[in-house]
């Protein structure tokens, strides 16, 4: 495969860490259950393609997300993460170690207990910047949910785990409309203060624009949350996920969430479409001379393999273009 022409620009980072969310955020919205063996093979293929952080599953109540009811089975099939001797490297944001990481989402102490029983070393909690989404997604008010995460994060940190904080609805909410940036900054501060190693800012319904992204990042930095503790997570409802991610990277963020093949959505926000495709992000960053450590050929092959099992083509533009070039 011929990669994109490289034009290095001043001020861009040498490397960006990709937090791959396809096996969890990507598959949780599938209409039919994907077998645990397929999920485990997907994760193994993604690691072989060079991705070092692959979010594996969620230890959520299966009543809420039936697609992820097989969390224990997926982790059993995966076994130890390559180069770590455990199910994840643990201990901080991606790029802080050389080992492969298999983070999992935990909604409460019960979910954390299940994850710990599986030997997991990286977990994430999931908060909302808005009240309505917190009640619809977490079945609790926004502050009540945040208060509930305090013992989860404390217990995880005491066990030596790496902890990520997800913050959804940072730019727009389907019920509340535009989200005031100071509201986002306030919730972000609580997540970091309770001990989260890093914070992923989610554009859950894909309405953000580049100026809005940079404005929020500026406000977070002014409040003490610099680029080293931030990641971005964009959905592509209006086709802006890649542009928004690149704006964040140019600003200084060096961890970007993406989903192989552009899979994803949100089962609790009907307007949310797929995540930023990992392939599209890798192509754009490669053209800027930014290293991701990803073998794009292997990643595209993996997304085509998964698309065959899901019975539909990948929505990633790069996967589509390179597949057409190969006559598929």
**Per-residue DSSP letters for 135-146?**
HHHHSS-HHHHH
In this predicted structure, the answer to whether residue 92 has a pLDDT above a threshold of 70 is no
What count of other Cβ atoms lies within 10 Å of the Cβ of residue 156? 27
Mean pLDDT, the chain, integer: 92
The reply to whether 266 belongs to the active site is yes
Count, residues in the chain: 328
In this predicted structure, the answer to whether residue 4 has a pLDDT above a threshold of 60 is yes
* Catalytic-labelled residue, pool 118, 170, 196, 266: 266
| Mean pLDDT value across residues 145-169 | 98
In this predicted structure, the answer to whether residue 162 has a pLDDT above a threshold of 70 is yes
**DSSP string for 9-39:** -TT--SB-EEEE-IIIIIGGG-SSPPPHHHH
Specify the pTM: 0.93
Q: How confident is the model at residue 130 (pLDDT cuts 50, 70, 90)?
A: very high
Q: How confident is the model at residue 99 (pLDDT cuts 50, 70, 90)?
A: confident
3-state DSSP helix/strand/coil % of the chain, to nearest 5:
45, 15, 40
Q: Which of 291, 316, 295, 292 is nearest to 306 (CA)?
A: 316
Q: What is the pLDDT of residue 267?
A: 45
Q: What is the pLDDT of residue 269?
A: 45
Higher pLDDT among residues 139 and 212, named by residue:
212
Spell out the SS3 assignment of 217-284: HHHHHHCCCCHHHEEEEEECCCCCHHHHHHHHHHHCCCEEEEEHHHCCCCCCCCCCCCECEHHHHHHH
Q: What is the pLDDT of residue 91?
A: 54
Q: Edge-to-edge strands of the sheet including 17-20?
A: 53-54, 17-20, 255-258, 230-234, 198-203, 162-168, 122-128, 104-105, 57-58
Q: What percent of the chain has pLDDT over 70?
A: 91
Superfamily of domain 17-325: Aldolase class I (3.20.20.70)
Domain boundaries, the chain: 17-325
């Amino acid at each position: 495969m011929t990669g994109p022409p490289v034009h290095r620009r001043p001020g861009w980072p040498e490397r960006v860490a990709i937090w791959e969310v396809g096996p969890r955020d990507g598959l949780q919205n599938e209409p039919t259950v994907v077998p645990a063996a397929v999920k485990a093979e997907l994760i193994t293929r993604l690691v072989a393609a060079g991705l070092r952080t692959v979010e594996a599953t969620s230890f959520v109540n299966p009543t809420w997300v039936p697609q992820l009811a097989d969390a224990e089975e997926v982790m059993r099939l995966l076994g130890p993460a390559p180069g770590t001797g455990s199910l994840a490297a643990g201990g901080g944001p991606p790029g802080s170690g050389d080992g492969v990481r298999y983070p999992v989402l935990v909604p409460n102490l019960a979910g954390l207990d299940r994850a710990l029983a599986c030997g997991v070393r990286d977990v994430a909690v999931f908060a909302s910047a808005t009240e309505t989404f917190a009640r619809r997604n977490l079945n609790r008010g926004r502050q009540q949910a945040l208060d509930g995460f305090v013992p989860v994060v404390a217990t995880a940190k005491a066990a030596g785990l790496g902890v990520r904080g997800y913050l959804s609805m940072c730019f727009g909410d389907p019920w509340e409309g535009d989200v005031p940036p100071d509201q986002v900054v306030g919730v972000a501060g609580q997540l970091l203060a309770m001990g989260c190693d890093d914070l992923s800012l989610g554009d859950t319904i894909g309405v953000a624009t580049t100026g809005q992204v940079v404005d929020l990042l500026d406000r977070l930095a002014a409040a003490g949350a610099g680029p080293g503790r931030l990641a971005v997570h964009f959905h592509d409802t209006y086709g802006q996920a890649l542009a928004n991610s690149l704006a964040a990277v140019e600003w200084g963020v060096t961890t970007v969430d993406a989903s192989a093949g552009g899979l994803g959505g949100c089962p609790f926000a009907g307007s949310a479409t797929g995540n930023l495709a990992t392939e599209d992000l890798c192509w754009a960053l490669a053209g800027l001379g930014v290293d991701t450590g990803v073998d794009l050929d292997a990643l595209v092959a993996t997304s085509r393999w998964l698309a065959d099992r899901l019975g539909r083509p990948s929505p990633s533009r790069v996967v589509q273009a390179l597949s057409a070039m190969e006559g598929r």
